[in-house]
Amino acid sequence: MKNVNLVLALHMHQPVGNFPEVVDRITKEVYRPVLEVLEKYPGVAVNLHVSGPLLEVWSERHGDLVKKLKDLVATGRVEMLSGGFYEPVLVEWAEEDRDGQLGKMNQWLKERLGAAPAGVWLAEGVWGPSLCGAFGRAGLKYTLVDGSFFQQGGIIPAKMNGHYVTDQAGNLLSVLPTCPDLARLIPHAPLDELFGHLRRIANRAEDITLSVAANLENWGQVPGGVAGYLEKLFVKLGESSSWVNTLTGQAQLLRQSARGRVSLPPGTPAELGGWSLPGAARKEFFRERGQLAQRFDAAKWLPFFRGGSWASFRVRYEELNLLYRKNLLLARRLRGKSQFPGARGVTERLWRSQCSTAQWHGTQGGLHLPHLRGAIWRELLMAEAEMRAGQTEMEVVREDVNADGQIEVVAGHPDLTMLFAPHLGGACLEVGLPGFGRNLADVLTRRDEGMNGASAGPTDWYERRMFQDHFFAKGTTVDQLSAGTYPELGDFILQPFEITQMRQTGSRVTLSMQRDGGLYRVGTRLPCLVEKTYAIDAAESLVEVSYRITNTGRLPLEAVFATELNLNVGPDQSGRGVWQFGESKKSDRDRWQGDGVTRVVAGSPDGLEVTMSSENLPWVVGYPLLDTEKGPEGPIRQGNCVLFGQHLDLKPGEKAEGRLKVTFRKKEPKIAPKK
């Protein structure tokens, strides 16, 4: 019986912006015990990848772990894997970003751990041949790629071991296929079953190396914990050392020649691609994949059953698309500032905002965690503010920001950034407050996120934005609006408005637009003209929106007109955020409705206060946007919706007007008087 060789790669990661107490708890419960297990079993060799954000936390608050890591590297049996420092999906970013992120990680590993990495970890398992060039420039020789890509490239399972060579444009890279059987067995199957499989492989009497890439973040439900499982595994490996060898990826490249050349198609692991598909397609994908998995020969066909891509998440979620496009826009702007002294700091912020964790969604977490989305927005807004330092006037640009083939209007100032989409109901897609590191419009639309069956909660038929214009029947309640069960009478949501005037003076911008639309009741179209004008003053932290509604038809027009604001005042989920309307106060998790209200104030626990003052819009409704996904405090609150409206009863030719002023300020904490 020949030996079987095992390349075991372990991955530890915490995203940019995660709560410090969460990272410290996981470090205590998972990462520290894992490193102690690695110290305890000197006969086991592993590859280890620790993401940059986690390394930074360890350096700041857990310095002894960095020392442990350095000592482990010095033994030669723990080989560090490189990767984009802030855990980006590298195929999505420009070559300069790839080089910068890889270079930062390589430098950190060399200076802090004395490591010279030869291998690289693929964030989220996303592969693309274009990475060959970036890895080569960074001095990296190999990576581990999901075994299904090799099957798609024509490698049969029996030959899916050792390593192969792939290239693009002459840039060679060694690729180690991860073993699907080991991915299934580790850590979920009993160890006897795992080692029974390894013995069958060894009995083939061939020189075989199997590789496994294990994301320890996915091992949360393992009995005995992550470190407990690894300790049992390492004990078993020690007992089987006569026929099971563990080695690092670099050792594998040195001990054995490549099995041959391979061309791997670009893509994501199958489940990740399926998750990126929109509602109906997503459900159909997993339903058909599940049926295929029931076949006796499923293993033969499943690797070829794929859908979606990493970029598909940006199509499914416009919220992600805006994050991505803003990063590209700022990077382009930075390249145009040839002598900008703050370029290094801005670049660092742009790299931090490329962290992949909040830029996708599977079954939980990711994009649905407001504090992670907010952390990315904070980096982008601060990067833009730093580039605009010293700018006193508001800059206004018309361009296609979100790559939808339509022209948006961008208004930028060091204290306020806004993005308007005339073709999407004249709505506002971004209200960036760099001083607070927050985009008030960072609200997640409620979608059907299920993989089978009906949606578990209300879904929105339109994407949640700022200053969206509704018409609905009198008597519509907050419960109907929250559940999305009211009938929309107008054709103004998501429909194009025409820009009629755009003017910039100092820090002020005026943007006027209109839509000649209508209301629809009992099959009859009632023509209606909606004119709205944005007046923004960045220096005064003021956004003012004025409305004029004209009945341009021949019949009376009776309805409720309301402008909708979807606000993310802060990511706190404890219910401590306060909404005050008139003399009443409510938690940010309450629904409420009032008439005769002229002022609403929303406050976050960290001191951001948003005041909304209205004229002729006395009907006010507010409710939280609660997710089907839950956190410790209950359903995750993705933001709050507030509508300001008035009851219309317009004869032909009559007009109605309304105005809403929104201001922002930092609420100073109250100091208790001395006794």
Average pLDDT, the chain: 95
Domains of the chain and any CATH numbers: 4-266 (3.20.110.20), 269-307 (no CATH), 311-387 (no CATH), 466-666 (2.70.98.10)
Give the mean model confidence (pLDDT) for residues 503-525: 95
CA distance 498 to 627: 34
Q: According to the model, what pLDDT value does residue 205 have? A: 81
Q: What is the dihedral of CA 369, 372, 374, 375, to 10 degrees?
A: 170
- What pairing do the DSSP bridges indicate for beta strands 46-50 and 244-246? unpaired
Owner of token pair 């897609």: 429
State the pLDDT at residue 672: 43
Measured CA to CA, the distance from residue 355 to residue 358 in angstroms comes to 7
- pLDDT tens profile 285-310: 999 999 999 999 998 899 999 999 99
Predicted local distance difference test score (pLDDT) of residue 360? 94
User: Average of pLDDT values for 90-104?
Assistant: 98
C-alpha dihedral sign at 371, 373, 379, 383 = negative
Structure token digits, residue 446: 């409620």
Q: Which residues make beta-bridge pairs with 510?
A: 503, 535
Taking a C-beta distance cutoff of 8 angstroms, is the pair 657, 546 a contact?
yes
Question: Does 668 have pLDDT greater than 80?
Answer: no
Q: Name the token pair of 571.
A: 């990511």
The predicted pLDDT at position 453 comes to 67
Q: Does residue 522 carry a pLDDT above 90? A: no
Nearest CA to 516 out of 480, 490, 543, 479 is that of 490
pLDDT for residue 2: 81
Q: How far apart are CA 541 and CA 415, in angstroms?
A: 8
The predicted structure's pLDDT at residue 1 = 55
Residue 353 has pLDDT above 70, yes or no: yes
Q: Is the pLDDT of residue 19 over 90?
A: yes
Number of other residues whose CB lies within 10 A of the CB of residue 670 = 6
**What's the gap between Cα 305 and its chain centre?**
25
Element (H, E) at 318: helix 318-335
pLDDT at 670: 54
The residue-averaged pLDDT of 114-135 equals 97
* Residue 450: predicted pLDDT: 83
- Round to whole Å and give the CA distance between 138 and 510: 48
Q: How confident is the model at residue 359 (pLDDT cuts 50, 70, 90)?
A: very high
Instruction: Please state, in angstroms and rounded to a whole number, the distance separating the CA atoms of residues 301 and 304.
Output: 6
Mean pLDDT of 230-236: 97
- The tokens describing 186, both together, are 């580790």
Longest dimension (CA), the chain: 93
8 A C-beta contact, residue 494 and residue 424: yes
pLDDT digits 0-9 by tens, 254-273? 999 999 999 999 999 999 99
Query: What pLDDT does residue 671 have?
Result: 46
Q: Which residues contact 534 (CB under 8 A, 6 or more apart)?
A: 420, 428, 467, 509, 510, 511, 512, 543, 544, 545
Question: How far is the CA of 298 from the CAs of 42, 67, 291, 412, 494, in angstroms?
Answer: 40, 47, 9, 54, 44
For residue 5, the 8-state DSSP code is E
In this prediction, residue 675 has a pLDDT band, given cuts at 50, 70 and 90, of very low
Residue 454's pLDDT band (cuts 50, 70, 90): low
- Say if CB 517 and CB 528 are below 8 A apart: yes
Q: What is the pLDDT of residues 549-603, one digit of tens each?
A: 999 999 999 999 999 999 999 999 998 999 999 889 999 999 999 999 999 999 9
The per-residue pLDDT for 669 is 56
Q: Quick one: average pLDDT of 158-163?
A: 95
Query: Rounded distance, CA 525 to CA 552, Å?
Result: 11
Q: In what order do the strands lie in the sheet with 584-587?
A: 498-505, 508-521, 524-537, 542-551, 655-666, 608-615, 599-603, 578-581, 584-587
